[in-house]
Structure 1
């Protein structure tokens, strides 16, 4: 879980508009492709060359959400290399191991699968320098996470943090998460992973076609959150990060100098217009463009200058 509010300067407004145009065009392509026919009977459209993708997450390299995405991307013709944490690293944001002189363990578990004893950001950084040292991947995909990363939760997300790390290194990046419905239980999230993965594979294809082969505008990552629904989602909404959180920690006294961390599930109303939290709650797929820049666009703070 890990990023930023996106302050809307004119430059960022142009970036958001560019992403909106690409996503809107991709939706039209998807709708028209359902009725497309080959130019000649029996002829199939020419296949598009697959991407070279680094796949990571914050739940660990063996997590079911990552496995579902890996299978869907490979089925779509992409070359997928997993470089992900060796164990669960949820909630670490963009944290990275910077104790210089320390050692980090990274092991090739099987062909195309690496585990890294570190954070999601460590995994992406290691992957770019060691696994993809000959050439950067075309895309970094992080997820699918077990549980949505919307609103204030995204600020701490290791899933989103991995995508921001890819973005900071000049690689187009997409974080993807599958909603957790507290009433439906964890099984509902597990069942929704394949649909999330198929949506992601289709989104990548649509972005490539709408962008003329280019996935995303420079300096932009996407935070995708897929809803749990009885049927198909109601569509895709281009959103902003909200301010609410579906879960927060509570610290309960549990002995001398000890506190037990328990969850609290607030029901605060969302105040951000067009928020990801709102879109997901209404059974839309939420796609939030992120730029990784924490700078306030027009800070006027008394006392800063003299």
Structure 2
């Protein structure tokens, strides 16, 4: 069986990670769950962690509905957990990283800030295939809202089969509408929107502070983007590129040389 690490940024107790891990088990994968001990949304690819005498605390836990599946609450950000898993913490090293299911869509170029996506991109940098999974839960002041996790998990076999045929290090981002699977449109490839479905704004500011607030995006999203297709009821799938050099800006031509001789 394929060895898979399931993580998230909403924390080990979040219902989304339990749903994703159960779906991975049902797909016949060899699952280990490891996620932040506390909410870590917005962590991006940070590898910060708590330290006790130079060591990162790890606590064995049980995930709801997954008796017998090894699971750990880690005092670290999700990308830190993935990094540890692929450089020696887990033996064997995971063949695949699943991150999510995030409570809220991860769309647009602002996926840069998502801990869910950051964990997947960290896997990709190390040559491990990864899938970030997010559910388009509407924002409500009290945190309520429908949670049709099955609209995401129902797509897992199809997406995993696709990912298995792609090169090592491939990172995909899956967003699912928060509605029953029968009410979702077909899975669509999507480009990243300039901004996400949820946007951050300064709510108040003074000389000694500011306050940020997350709000639903306004305006009409660009056709064909993940934000537009998701709003129309389509699950979306986008391939993301881990960090790499950008040769397109022509910096080597401006500075002279291509860096292969170690001299200028």
TM-score bracket for this pair, using the shorter chain length:
0.7 to 0.9
Note the alpha carbon deviations across 1:160-215, whole angstroms, 9 max, x for none: 000011111111100000002248x955442x1133122224432x327xxxxx44
Q: Which residue of 1 aligns with 2:77?
A: 119
Q: Which residue of 2 aligns with 1:81?
A: 32
Written as runs of structure 1 = structure 2, the 5 A alignment for 1:8-87 is 50-87=1-38
Q: Any stretches of 5+ residues in structure 1 without a counterpart?
A: 1-49, 209-213
Written as runs of structure 1 = structure 2, the 5 A alignment for 1:1-306 is 50-97=1-48, 102-110=54-62, 112-132=70-90, 134-182=91-139, 187-190=144-147, 192-204=148-160, 206-207=161-162, 214-229=164-179, 231-245=182-196, 246-253=198-205, 257-271=208-222, 274-300=224-250, 304-305=254-255
Runs of 4+, deviation exceeding 6 Å: 98-101
CA contact (8 A) 2:16 2:149 kept: yes
Q: Report the count of equivalent residues.
A: 247
Bigger relative CO (Cα 8 Å, ≥ 6 apart): 1
RMSD: 2.9
Residues 109, 295 of structure 1: alpha-carbon distance in 2 compared, 3 angstrom cutoff: same
Q: In the TM superposition, what is the alpha-carbon distance from 1:51 to its structure 2 partner?
A: 2.0
Higher fraction of helix: 1
Note the alpha carbon deviations across 1:131-160, whole angstroms, 9 max, x for none: 42x322121000000000000331211000
Higher fraction of strand: 2
Distance 1:264 1:207 in 2: 33
Q: Which residue of 2 aligns with 1:23?
A: none
Note the alpha carbon deviations across 1:33-53, whole angstroms, 9 max, x for none: xxxxxxxxxxxxxxxxx3211
Q: Any stretches of 5+ residues in structure 2 without a counterpart?
A: 63-68, 257-264
Distance 1:130 1:219 in 2: 18
